[in-house]
Structure 1
C-alpha cells in the first residue's frame, strides 16, 4: 500500500492513510512499522487513526474469520465517512479501501487494493502466511511445518502467529516440537507476528517463498524474482494459486491444504524441490523472466505505467463529472 502511495505522490497527488488500530493493539512490531513509515513519508502523505469502535466483534478462524474481518470494516464505515466528510469539498479524488460502501455513499470513486548466478546464493526459504492466514493453522499444522523444515536441512525464516483459538498469552515455543528451536539454531529463525516481507524477498539469500497466495504477496514475490510454494487458505487465494502454478509457472502447489493438513513430508519435499532440483532451477528461470517483464512494465512508457496514468485520468474525469 505504501508503494502505491509513493506512486500517487510522484504523480502529484496528496495521500491520506486511514488506519484501524485494532490490529496494532495486538501486534507491537506492526505498530512500530507503521510509525516508522509515517515518520519517513513526505508531507504529501499523512496518517490518521480512526476512532475505536465499541465492542469489536471477535474474529475466529476459517470462513468466520473472513466474515468477522468484513464486519469490523463495516463497523468502521461511520468513522471513515466522518473522516472523508471532514476534508475540503471536492478534494477527495478516490478512495482505495477494503470495502466500498462509504465511497459510494459520498459519490467518490472507490477502488479495492489487492500490493543469474544469484541463484547460487538463494539458500533460505521464507514462510509468511499474511496478517490473518498464519493464525488459522492448527497446533498440529505448526508441528508438521516445523518437522518438515528441520528434515529439509535448509535455512529458513518463518513468521508465526498463534492460532485464533489459542490463549492470549500463548508462547510460540509451546506450538513447536520440543527442542525444535535449539536443534535448528544457527540455520533457522522463527519470528513472532511480523517481518518486513518486501525486504526479505529482495534479499539475495532468499530462494523460496511459502505463501498464502494473497495477491499483494504474489506481486511482491514476482517483482523480487523468488519462486513460490503455494499454500492458499481463503478468498481469491485459491484462484491465484491456479494462475501461479498452472498458467504462469512461477510456483508449485503445497499438497494437503485442501484436506486441512500439510504433512512434514510434503513441506520437506517441496522445499527441496525448489532449492535443490532441476525443476527448481527451471521454476527460478520462469519467475526471473516475469520479474524482468514486471520491471519493464513499470518503467516510464511501460504498460503498467500507462494503465496507471489512464486510471488516474479516469478518476479525475469521474470527479469532474460529479
Structure 2
C-alpha cells in the first residue's frame, strides 16, 4: 500500500494538470497555491460544479412538482408553506455517528423549535422515548435514500446541518442554502473553513470534549443554538445572503460565458493541441 501511495503521489505531482470540481470565484487565491505543488508548470482547471452540466438541457431550476417526486420527504416538504423554514440534516455516508450523539442531535433539533428533515443512516439508533409523538407535526426522520439535491432546492429548505463533504458543500452552494457546519473526518474540516470563514455562507456548530477525552460531542444545546442562529439569527441571515449570491455565481459558472464553461473550452483546446 505504501509503495502504491508513493507512486500515486509522484504521478500526481508530475502530471500535466488537474481537474477541480469547483469554480474560480469560490477558490479565489487558492488555485496558485495548489499549482505550486506540481512540477513542470501543471495547470489547475476549475470546471465545476460538475453535476450542473447534466442539467443544462433541462434548465438549472427544477422544482419538486416539476419532477413529480412522490417520496415521503418530497411530500412532507410540499406541506411546509413557509419558505426557508426547514433545516435539512444529513451527515453523509462515511463518518460513523454514535447513538449517543444521534440522541443529542434529536434533542437539539427538538429544542430549536424549527421544522426539520433528517436523513439518518444508522441501523441501530432509534428515537428517544416519547419524541416521535412530540415532533410528529414538526419533524420528519427518514432512513431511506433521499435526493439531496432536490431537497436542498426546495423552497421550504432554508438551512443545511452538514458534515461538509465536498459534494454536499457544492450542492448546498448551488441551491443557495447556508450551512451549519459540523465536519467530522478528512477534508471536511477544510471544506467547513472555506465555506464558513472564506465564503461567509455558513456558521460553525459548537463542540465540547467529554470527560474521558475520547470523543468530541456536540451537545443538544449547541445544536439547538446553531439551528436557531442559522435559521433566525443575524449571523444566519448574513450567511443566507452570501449563500444565495454564491449560488447564482455557481450556476452562472457552467453556463456559456461563465468561468467554468470558458475554462472547459480552454481545457479541450489544450488537449487537442497535445
Q: TM-score, normalization: structure 1? A: 0.57
Whole-Å separation in 1 of the counterparts to 2:18 and 2:262 = 20
Pairs within 5 Å for 1:162-311: 162=122, 170-173=123-126, 176-256=127-207, 260-311=216-267
Whole-Å separation in 1 of the counterparts to 2:270 and 2:168 = 27
- Is the aligned partner of 1:154 residue 2:105? no
Query: Deviation of residue 298 (structure 1)?
Result: 2.1
| Between structures 1 and 2, the one with greater helix share | 1
Q: Tell me, yes or no, if the aligned pair for 2:87 and 2:158 is still in contact at 8 Å.
A: yes
Q: Tell me, yes or no, if the aligned pair for 1:214 and 1:237 is still in contact at 8 Å.
A: yes
Gaps of 5+ in 1: 1-66, 68-73, 75-99, 163-169
Q: Tell me, yes or no, if the aligned pair for 2:163 and 2:184 is still in contact at 8 Å.
A: yes
Whole-Å separation in 2 of the counterparts to 1:220 and 1:192 = 20
Gaps of 5+ in 2: 23-50, 52-80, 210-214
Pairs within 5 Å for 1:43-122: 121-122=83-84
Higher relative contact order (CA 8 A, sep 6+): 2
Whole-Å separation in 2 of the counterparts to 1:111 and 1:297 = 15
Match of 1:132 in 2: 94
Per mean C-alpha deviation after superposition, the further-off stretch among 124-133 and 307-316 is 307-316
Residue 124 to residue 196, structure 1, CA distance change in 2 (3 Å): same
Query: Deviation of residue 316 (structure 1)?
Result: 4.5
Q: Any idea what the Cα deviations from partners look like across 1:39-95, whole Å, max 9, x if unmatched?
A: xxxxxxxxxxxxxxxxxxxxxxxxxxxx9xxxxxx9xxxxxxxxxxxxxxxxxxxxx
Residue 311 to residue 129, structure 1, CA distance change in 2 (3 Å): farther
Superposition RMSD in Å: 3.0
Residue 223 to residue 206, structure 1, CA distance change in 2 (3 Å): same
Residue 110 to residue 273, structure 1, CA distance change in 2 (3 Å): closer
SS of alignment partner, residue 94 of structure 2: helix
Query: Deviation of residue 273 (structure 1)?
Result: 0.5
Q: TM-score, normalization: structure 2? A: 0.67
Q: Tell me, yes or no, if the aligned pair for 2:203 and 2:236 is still in contact at 8 Å.
A: no
Match of 2:102 in 1: 142
Whole-Å separation in 1 of the counterparts to 2:146 and 2:245 = 26
Whole-Å separation in 1 of the counterparts to 2:179 and 2:263 = 27
SS of alignment partner, residue 130 of structure 1: coil
SS of alignment partner, residue 244 of structure 2: helix
SS of alignment partner, residue 142 of structure 2: strand
Whole-Å separation in 2 of the counterparts to 1:261 and 1:138 = 10
Query: Deviation of residue 171 (structure 1)?
Result: 4.8
